[in-house]
């Protein structure tokens, strides 16, 4: 029997300002009927480009330069645009990364599904609505009759992704391509969406390609895994085998860098390093007392939270989107005024200074932040040098020459090569931008650093490096961290204590290991269960044993 | 992009290299910049280059068709049309540049404040701008010039006022979407006051779309100034100005003296055309993201 999808020696080229660049080369894989293939790789590895090439929806300037793509015996490279139109949607369905961007914002979701059904002659104008409701019911949307009349902005992120899945599956395609279907969704929503996709593909006997950067996710849902790096497939093997005996060094590196239970911060790095010492907690630095925020529209985002961070201590604040963790950190950061409660920094109430005046306050420099999205947090018109110098200019009395020296010292401290200082953010990689953001936050020698998901937008291998950098800086400078994240496994690596937040309240607080090993609250347990974790590194155990056996 | 990449040229050199790329990349931009330089050259050196005095009448040579002596012919008073068209460039360009600069500064300040602070600032400025937009703009400009007095300055003010809403709206929208952006928050953390965040961090990022608006408006402002002169407001004869020249020449078209209106009209068209083409190029030039 021939494979459903057969890609061989695929090469995709893009015409750019600096000549022709090949994004993908020598990519070959096959997909059998009913099989789920995981394509895993970091950003820029060409995994999305490969799937776009299969669908023939490459961006302007992109073209398939070489290779063969055949779907059920049909050569997709030779197919006309009209034939491709029939294949897309009816034969091959696709789920995109950002569900909100994939839906037409001004058309009701039921209608959008109806459009696809009519386009592929699966329904007539009269039956389209009923068929769309059926499609919504299939993706387990509650009350599909009412939801069919909703606009995308009226639905949550998880709900939008379900609609996109309904769209992709409406015409019963035989192949489903899911491009990072759960990026940006909470872990519990991610689990629900992935279980739904897995259940539907199994029930309908479909084949699927799951494109993801998350090894854990791929391990949990795929039969076979193809690992991509720099536009090439470096390894293809059944899931279990990939995790048990990674054949390629890059696969092993990826697995090592993934945060998982039992691993310590240094275990994530390629080259082992001694664990950075954690500073011994001192006196209370930040005391937050029954902090609450009610927005003008009556939404109670934070309903009275209290916590203490001691000098040199790291506290993790974990919760899903909408739980109030960002509102809490914004209030502590003094970007937002609380409705009630006190924020004491070193015994002084900084909550009484209005957020609008706090930038000129003498305590501004003592409390700084590393933002979630390094790209968004850097001014596109400022070079790295100017970005780091900005807080020095406003908050310190340093002269021009001292400032220049301090910027270079900061860059060295965070491991940013000095020649990159004159680049603009768009000329830097994700990891380099993260370093600029950290250097800027460190510029005023803060006592408390709030880390708002500082690695959420980074690849795992870079995440590992940045987390280790943060641990080194803490050991060196004795700062306190408030680490805000949705990922318990990442928080555990860096924090002494963890708070779990839900619906504006803290539901559980305690020692990081205890919360992870023996969660007391059912919500914490559901968070832990929902996070997909790759099987433990097989290579790690014997290595540790040998180390232990050695005299 | 890796750490091993050698350092690239910085500062002015990088800007020039980027400019050269923008021009190479799009031939239309190249043509537009060439025409723009030509117009600026005429404005600066026009009076020096003009073969005749644009105001000197010579009844003996009235209404002569284009010839080797008078490239664009002569008008009813025997004045050289070529010299007049050339000399008029400076006045027309000055009026439109001054008007556009005024409305760009005022409009973007108003719009940026409305977009950043919202609330009553937005409500008040929004209604004022709507009120201006509610009038037929050219009629409003006529009214302003008629009320304030028939001078060149008043043409500038009138043109500035009717162009202001476009800048205010673009600036408001561009600032509002960046108000809560990460880099604006980071700027507040770095100790920048609200005014600084707006002026140094957010506003420069709103420039690229404003540049497109700017160049489109330049063309429009020239047309507007010429239009006002055409109907007898603003610049008065015998000052050489494209609008007046077209107006005066229009009377002679019926009797076959086509060159009186055609040449100043072509000059006007060329100027408007140039500024309309310039927009995309200007945007590419000021957008740092286009530099790689």
Quick one: closest CA in B to A18, which residue? B292
> Tell me, what's the pLDDT at B291?
59
Query: How distant is the Cα of B283 from the closest Cα of chain A, in angstroms?
Result: 14
Is residue B3 pLDDT above 60, yes or no? no
User: How do strand A448-452 and strand A224-229 relate by DSSP bridges?
Assistant: unpaired
Residue B142 belongs to a domain: yes
> Tell me, what's the pLDDT at B176?
92
> Tell me, what's the pLDDT at A244?
83
Residue B67 belongs to a domain: no
Spatial CA neighbour of A350 closest among A293, A288, A290, A295: A288
Confidence of residue A540 (pLDDT cuts 50, 70, 90): very low
A337 interfaces chain B, CB cutoff of 8 Å:
no
Longest dimension (CA), chain A: 80
Q: What is the CA radius of gyration of chain B?
A: 23
Residue B57 belongs to a domain: no
> Tell me, what's the pLDDT at A215?
85
Q: Do B191 and A373 touch (CB under 8 A)?
A: no
What's the CATH code of the domain at B107? Answer: 1.10.3720.10
Q: Do A335 and B185 touch (CB under 8 A)?
A: yes
Q: Do B1 and A359 touch (CB under 8 A)?
A: no
Residues 6+ apart with CB under 8 A from A236: A29, A224, A225, A226, A227
Query: How distant is the Cα of B21 from the closest Cα of chain A, in angstroms?
Result: 9
* Chain A residues lying within 8 Å of B187, measured CB to CB: 379, 390
A371 interfaces chain B, CB cutoff of 8 Å:
yes
**Residue count of chain A:** 551
Range scoring the smallest mean pLDDT among A8-12, A90-94, A476-480, B212-216: B212-216
B182 interfaces chain A, CB cutoff of 8 Å:
yes
CA separation for the pair B106, A295 (Å, rounded): 34
For residue A66, the Cα-to-chain-centroid distance in whole angstroms is: 33
B3 interfaces chain A, CB cutoff of 8 Å:
yes
> Tell me, what's the pLDDT at B58?
78
Confidence of residue A22 (pLDDT cuts 50, 70, 90): confident
- Which of A375, A377, A403, A457 to mutate to probe the B interface, most B CBs <10 Å? A377
Read off the DSSP letter of residue B50.
-
Q: What is the CA radius of gyration of chain A?
A: 25
Residue B276, both tokens:
């309309």
> Tell me, what's the pLDDT at B149?
86
* Chain B residues lying within 8 Å of A394, measured CB to CB: 190-192, 196
Spatial CA neighbour of A367 closest among A439, A446, A314: A446
Residue A485 three-state SS: strand
- Arithmetic mean of pLDDT over chain A: 86
CA separation for the pair A440, A526 (Å, rounded): 36
> Tell me, what's the pLDDT at A385?
93
- Give contacts of B 240-259 with A, CB under 8 A: none
Residue B247 belongs to a domain: yes
Residue B122 belongs to a domain: yes
Residue B65 belongs to a domain: no
Which segments within A133-252 are labelled E, that is strand? 175-179, 207-212, 224-229, 232-238
Quick one: closest CA in A to B203, which residue? A381
Domains and CATH numbers, chain A: 32-57+83-267 (3.40.50.300), 284-530 (3.40.50.300)
Spatial CA neighbour of A368 closest among A282, A469, A452: A452
Spatial CA neighbour of A91 closest among A73, A108, A68: A73
> Tell me, what's the pLDDT at B289?
67
Q: How many domains does chain B have?
A: 1
The A300-310 sheet, strands edge to edge:
A300-310, A284-294, A340-345, A348-349
CA separation for the pair B74, B63 (Å, rounded): 5
Confidence of residue A310 (pLDDT cuts 50, 70, 90): very high
| Phi and psi torsions of A59, nearest 5° | -65, 165
Residue B84 belongs to a domain: yes
Q: B148 is in which domain, residue-wise?
A: 76-290
Nearest to A381 among B21, B185, B205 (CB): B205
> Tell me, what's the pLDDT at B73?
80
Residue B45, both tokens:
């050196």
Is residue A452 pLDDT above 80, yes or no? yes
Quick one: closest CA in B to A376, which residue? B182
State mean pLDDT over A243-263: 84
Residue B12 belongs to a domain: no
């Amino acid at each position: 029997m021939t494979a459903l999808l057969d890609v061989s020696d695929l090469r995709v080229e893009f015409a750019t300002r600096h000549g022709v660049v090949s994004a993908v080369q020598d990519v070959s894989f096959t997909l059998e009927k009913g099989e789920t293939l995981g394509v895993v790789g970091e950003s820029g590895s060409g995994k999305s480009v490969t799937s776009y090439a299969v669908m023939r929806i490459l961006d302007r300037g992109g073209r398939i330069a070489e290779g063969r793509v055949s779907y059920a015996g049909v050569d997709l490279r030779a197919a006309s645009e009209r034939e491709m139109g029939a294949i897309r949607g009816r034969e091959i369905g696709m789920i995109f990364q950002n569900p909100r961007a994939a839906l037409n914002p001004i058309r009701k979701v039921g209608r959008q599904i109806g459009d696809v059904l009519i386009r592929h002659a699966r329904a007539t104008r009269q039956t389209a609505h009923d068929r769309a409701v059926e499609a919504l019911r299939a993706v387990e949307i509650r009350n599909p009759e009412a939801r069919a009349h909703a606009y995308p902005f009226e639905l949550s992120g998880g709900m939008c992704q379900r609609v996109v899945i309904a769209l992709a599956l409406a015409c019963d395609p035989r192949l489903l391509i899911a491009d990072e279907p759960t990026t940006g969704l909470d872990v519990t929503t991610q689990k629900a969406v992935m279980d739904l996709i897995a259940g539907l593909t199994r029930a309908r006997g479909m084949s699927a390609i799951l494109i993801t950067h998350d090894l854990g996710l791929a391990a949990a849902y795929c039969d076979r895994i193809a690992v991509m790096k720099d536009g090439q497939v470096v390894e293809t093997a059944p899931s279990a085998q990939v995790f048990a005996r990674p054949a390629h060094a890059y696969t092993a590196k990826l697995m090592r860098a993934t945060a998982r239970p039992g691993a310590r911060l240094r275990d994530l790095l390629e080259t082992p390093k001694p664990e950075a010492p954690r500073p011994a907690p001192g006196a209370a630095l930040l005391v937050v007392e029954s902090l609450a925020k009610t927005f003008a529209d009556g939404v109670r985002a934070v309903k009275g939270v209290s916590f203490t961070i001691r000098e040199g201590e790291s506290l993790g604040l974990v919760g899903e989107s909408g739980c109030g963790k960002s509102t809490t950190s914004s209030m502590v950061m003094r970007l937002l005024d609380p409705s009630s409660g006190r924020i004491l920094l070193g015994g002084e109430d900084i909550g009484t200074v209005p957020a609008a005046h706090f930038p000129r306050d003498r305590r501004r420099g003592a409390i700084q932040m590393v933002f979630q999205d390094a790209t968004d947090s850097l001014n596109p018109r400022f070079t790295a040098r100017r970005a780091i110098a900005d807080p020095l200019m406003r908050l310190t009395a340093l002269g021009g020459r001292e400032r220049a020296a301090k910027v270079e010292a900061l860059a060295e401290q965070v491991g940013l090569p000095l020649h990159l200082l004159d680049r603009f953010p768009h000329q830097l990689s994700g990891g380099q931008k993260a370093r600029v953001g950290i250097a800027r936050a460190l510029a005023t020698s803060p006592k408390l650093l709030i880390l708002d998901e500082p690695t959420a937008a980074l690849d795992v291998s870079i995440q590992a490096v940045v987390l280790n950098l943060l641990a080194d800086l803490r050991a060196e400078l004795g700062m306190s961290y408030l680490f805000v994240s949705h990922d318990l496994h990442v928080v555990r690596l860096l924090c002494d204590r963890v708070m779990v937040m839900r619906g504006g309240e803290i539901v559980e607080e305690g020692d990081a290991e205890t919360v992870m090993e023996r969660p007391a609250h059912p919500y914490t347990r559901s968070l832990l269960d929902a996070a997909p974790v790759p099987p433990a590194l097989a290579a790690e155990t014997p290595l540790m044993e040998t180390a232990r056996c050695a005299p | 992009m890796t750490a091993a990449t050698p350092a690239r040229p910085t500062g002015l050199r990088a800007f020039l290299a980027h400019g050269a790329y923008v021009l190479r990349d799009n031939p239309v931009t190249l043509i537009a910049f060439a025409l723009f330089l030509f117009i600026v050259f005429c404005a600066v050196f026009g009076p020096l280059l003009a073969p005749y005095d644009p105001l000197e009448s010579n009844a003996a040579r009235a209404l002569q068709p284009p010839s080797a002596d008078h490239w664009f012919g002569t008008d009813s008073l025997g004045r050289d049309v070529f010299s007049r068209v050339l000399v008029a460039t400076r006045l027309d360009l000055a009026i439109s540049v001054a008007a556009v600069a005024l409305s760009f500064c005022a409009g973007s300040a108003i719009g940026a404040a409305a977009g950043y602070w919202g609330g009553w600032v937005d409500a008040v400025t929004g209604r004022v701008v709507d009120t201006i937009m509610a009038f037929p703009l050219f009629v409003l400009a006529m009214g302003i010039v008629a009320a304030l007095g028939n001078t060149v300055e008043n043409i500038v003010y009138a043109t500035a006022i009717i162009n202001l809403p476009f800048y205010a709206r673009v600036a408001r929208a561009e600032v509002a979407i960046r108000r809560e952006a990460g880099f604006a928050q980071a700027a507040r953390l770095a100790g920048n006051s609200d005014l600084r965040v707006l002026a140094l961090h957010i506003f420069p990022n709103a420039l690229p779309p404003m540049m497109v608006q700017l160049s489109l408006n330049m063309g429009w402002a020239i047309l507007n100034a010429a239009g006002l002169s055409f109907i007898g407001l603003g610049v008065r004869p015998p000052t050489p100005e494209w609008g007046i020249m077209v107006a005066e020449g229009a009377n002679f078209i019926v009797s076959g003296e086509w060159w009186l209106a055609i040449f100043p009209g072509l000059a006007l068209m060329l100027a408007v055309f140039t500024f309309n083409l310039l927009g995309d190029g200007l945007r590419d030039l000021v957008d740092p993201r286009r530099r790689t």
